[in-house]
Amino acid sequence: MKMSIRLTVNGSPHSLELSEEVPLIFALRNDLDCHGAKLGCGLEQCGACVVLADGEPIYSCTTRIGDLQGKAIETLEGLAAESGELHPIQQAFLNHNAAQCGFCLSGIVMRTKALLAKNPKPSRQDICQALDGHLCRCGAQPRMIRAVESAAARLRGAS
Ligand code: FES
Ligand code: FES
């Protein structure tokens, strides 16, 4: 049965009429024109679908839209400034060539945003732990770790 779901996505309010069982990623990609989050495994095993809900990383492949009533969702599309200037995390990933095919990247960037919001000066171990649930089949993890360190420094104003 459909229900009315209200949430904000990247700061904009939305009201959707959907079955409460619909996974968030389908609402994002089919109804909200947000294509950053990717559907990989669909089983909370790869991290490609990770977005933030009230600042916390969630798997959008398994999170029911009905459980997100009133939440603030953040996706990759909300990171860059309206001027087009990249968010420091995006810029750091670009600077370090921290992606190959890019399929995993949206989830990793959003996970990094959540990490740095809580821990502005993460150790390498903190970063590895945070990214542990994210698969990258291209093997770009070493560059990603350096990108997270660089983004952390930039956000602290230490670069
Ligand atoms: S698609 Fe959600 S964790 Fe893989
Ligand atoms: S860059 Fe290809 S899966 Fe990570």
List, in order, residues 6 or more apart from 82 with CB less than 8 Å away: none
88-155 has the same fold as 2-78: no
For the entire predicted model, the pTM comes to 0.97
Residue 1: the pLDDT is: 84
CATH of span 2-78: 3.10.20.30
Q: What residue's CA is closest to ligand 1, atom 3? A: 44
Domain boundaries of the chain, sorted by first residue: 2-78, 88-155
Question: Does 42 contact ligand 1 (Cβ within 6 A)?
Answer: yes
pLDDT per position as a tens digit, 92-138: 999 999 999 999 999 999 999 999 999 999 999 999 999 999 999 99
C-alpha of residue 35 to centroid of ligand 2, in Å: 16
Taking each continuous run of H as one helix and of E as one strand, the counts in the chain are: 5, 5
CATH of span 88-155: 1.10.150.120
Ligand nearest to the CA of 29: 1
Residue 159 has pLDDT above 60, yes or no: no
**DSSP E strands, 10-158:** 12-19, 50-53, 56-59, 72-74
pLDDT per position as a tens digit, 7-22: 999 999 999 999 999 9
Question: Which of helix, strand or coil describes residue 155?
Answer: helix
Q: How far is CA 52 from the centre of its chain?
A: 6
